[in-house]
Amino acid sequence: MHVTKETVFKFIEAINSQNLSLINEMMANDFYFIDTYGHYENKEHMKSGWKGYFKWFPDYCITIDDYIANEEFAMVIGKARGSYLEKEDKHWEIPAAWKVVVSGHQIRRWQVFCDSKKQLDSMN
């Protein structure tokens, strides 16, 4: 298995453009998402998960500051930002990192590390 920067960046661009068909296509059959609390979701759950997340945060965006990879996985370090229901007073931006496992041209694992307090607080 070899991690390719092109595949990782293509998936991030699909997220940033909220291209659900490309996100779904790029998730491998054995894909799983791990949130900051350690909860796992498989591809089928994430098909609706991404859709719901983009409804809550229609301006969600990932910016990349650093990218590090080896033969097993990549680490993307940067920021995530958005606003709950795109309301200006509900805007947040947080430092975040993602561990990404790639298989061919698909993503097998997408794990996020961040302090999601600002994000969750924006929903109140």
**Closest among 19, 3, 13 to 108, alpha carbons compared:** 3
* CA gap 110, 8 in Å, rounded: 10
The model's confidence at residue 3, banded by pLDDT at 50, 70 and 90, is low
Specify the length of the chain in residues: 124
Looking at the DSSP bridge assignments, the partners of residue 40 are 34
The fold of 5-121 is Nuclear Transport Factor 2; Chain: A, (3.10.450)
Looking at the DSSP bridge assignments, the partners of residue 83 are 91
Q: Where are the alpha helices (DSSP H) in the chain?
A: 5-16, 20-26, 43-56, 117-121
Give 67-124 pLDDT, tens digit per residue. Answer: 999 999 999 999 999 999 989 899 999 999 999 999 999 999 999 999 877 777 787 8
pLDDT of residue 27: 98
Cα 5 to the center of its chain, rounded Å: 15
Structure-block tokens of residue 86: 């795109």
pLDDT of residue 119: 76
Reply yes or no on whether the pLDDT at 2 is more than 70.
Answer: no
Give 14-57 pLDDT, tens digit per residue. Answer: 999 999 999 999 999 999 999 999 999 999 999 999 999 999 99
Q: Taking the model in full, what pTM does it have? A: 0.92
